[in-house]
Amino acid sequence: MRKYKEQINLTAGLKQKKIKSTIMKQVILSTAIFLISIIATPQLNIQTRLVNYEAANWKTWLLDDAHQIVIKASSSPAQTKAELALIKQRIAKLDEKKLAEIKYWDAGAPAYRWNQVAPGLISPQRFDIMLRIPTAWMNIAIYDATILACKENIKYKRKRPEDSDPLLQPVINAPLTYSYPCEHSVTAAAAATVLAYFFPDKADSIVQLAQAASQSRIDAGVQFPSDVEAGWKLGEQVAKQIIEKAKNDGSATVYKGDVNKDPKKWTGDFAMGINVPSFSPIVMHSADQFRPPAPPDFETEMNELKNSKPNFTTTSLAYYWANNGGFDYWSDVAGQKMFEYRMTDDAPGVARIYTILHTAFHEAIIAIFDAKYSYWGIRPSQYDSTFKPLLSPPPFPGYPSGHATGSSTTATVLEYFFPADAKYFQKLAKDCADSRFHAGIHFRTDNEMGLLMGKQIGNYVVEKWMKK
């Protein structure tokens, strides 16, 4: 009996030892897996840098020969080591001013800040520059340069500084892309070079701003100096080709046609934008591609306008949209949506949206003025001199409404990229169009035809671009 109990106790003891051994093995295995995951993290980060590289297969838009634009091979190991030391020195010397610059330029994708900077350079008094839509040319340069940068990224697959030296701690999160060339520098050089062409009196300050944007990436510890240098050269080369296209956009053409004298149509001492129909479209095949039919007689609509009763809402709309509705307004709307949809790390995707948006507005301007000076559509205060509009009419014909057409064009582009917000964009465009009726400077037909034209132009530009 004693032997039997001893045997039972021995068996139980062996089982307990076996259980403890199994538990220990599981703990050791779990620990090993955890340690391996920590060790492997940098490798996984490098793998996840293959974000949105399908953009490397996208086609550039206006470059005559993209193969002419080249950058030298990325740095040797020895140079990389020297650059890492330099980056650490820059980080160690950061002050509040430098940190503020880093955070400013790091907001959004690379194209975001430049679409805030550029509109501020455009003075309404320089309508000759404004009507050329410099932001369209700037964004095309950014887009084409960004696509080439994607191709170079894949070609060289250079690691970010923090992946090359685990002891280096950047002050911001590095983009989930390869390091060479620098996307922000590509964008800054492309944008600054184009803007310096349109605004030569501000060229020095524009270039200095772009250089600060590029330097901020080195100071932040997310780019090598050679990344920035290569990015600048690439962006600059692309911009120079785009500028050659802009130089031949037809804006230098002097109007030599007749100016309307018929009192039943619009008349004025200064016909602003009368030469715009001679501008060369970027996507459309001609200025009259979307020309609407001739306007009706406005007698009925004049009575409607005179009998309308202004109120707080209609007056507010009139004043609000009188100061909005241009490409700068819609560019801000686009930027907000890009933040909402977490597009910060999608440099090519953001560049494409901005480019199509501003290019569509460029085409809309040409189509608008083609129709205006084809029909010389009269304004309400000229149709009936007793009518006093809330706002002063602009110095060009009324049909179709420029605000309505431009807003509908850009709203249509944004609907394509953010379909869940389609009703929001449509309401903005409709409010913008209606505001011109409330302001007393457009008949209802001016606005309705503008909304229709804008939708046609927006859809056409999107379709052409996305199928390229």
Run of H or E including 122: none
Residue-wise pLDDT tens digits, 3-44? 434 443 434 443 444 434 443 444 333 433 333 333 333 333
Distance CA 411, CA 452 (A): 12
pLDDT band (50, 70, 90) for residue 217: very high
pLDDT value of position 52: 58
pLDDT digits (tens, 9 = 90+) for 285-320: 999 999 999 999 999 999 999 999 999 999 999 999
Query: What tokens does 414 get?
Result: 């944004």
Q: At residue 277, does pLDDT exceed 90?
A: yes
Which is nearest to 218 in space by CA: 76, 339, 101, 319? Answer: 101
pLDDT at 51: 61
**Tens of pLDDT, residues 119-178:** 999 988 899 999 999 999 999 999 999 999 999 999 999 999 999 999 999 999 999 899
**Residue carrying the six token digits 């030569």:** 200
Instruction: Tell which residue, 147, 171, 148, 159, has the closest CA to residue 224.
Output: 159
pLDDT tens digits, 391-418 = 999 999 999 999 999 999 999 999 999 9
Q: Distance (Å, rounded) from C-alpha 132 to C-alpha 242?
A: 14
pLDDT tens-digit readout, 70-107 = 888 878 899 999 999 999 999 999 999 999 999 999 99
Contact by Cβ (8 Å): 216, 107:
no
- Neighbour count for residue 286 (Cβ, 10 Å): 13
Residue 39: what pLDDT?
34
Contact 416, 336 (CB under 8 A): no
Distance CA 160, CA 84 (A): 10
341 has pLDDT over 60:
yes
pLDDT at 33: 32
Q: Give the gyration radius of the chain's Cα atoms.
A: 30
Report the C-alpha gap between 341 and 271 in whole angstroms: 42
The count of other CB atoms within 10 Å of the CB of residue 314 is 16
In whole angstroms, what is the distance from residue 454 CA to residue 328 CA? 17
Say whether 287 sits in a helix, a strand or coil. Answer: coil
Other CB atoms closer than 10 Å to residue 184's CB: what's the count? 28
What confidence tier does 420 reach under pLDDT thresholds 50, 70, 90?
A: very high
Give residue 68's pLDDT: 84
pLDDT value for 287: 98
Distance, in Å, from the CA atom of 242 to the CA atom of 131, rounded to the nearest integer, reads 18
> What is the reported pLDDT for 83?
96
Q: Output the average pLDDT for the chain.
A: 90
What number is the average pLDDT over the span 205-218? 98
Other residues' Cβ atoms within 10 Å of the Cβ of residue 345: 17
Note the pLDDT of residue 74: 79
d(CA 131, CA 372): 14
CB 432 within 8 A of CB 403: yes
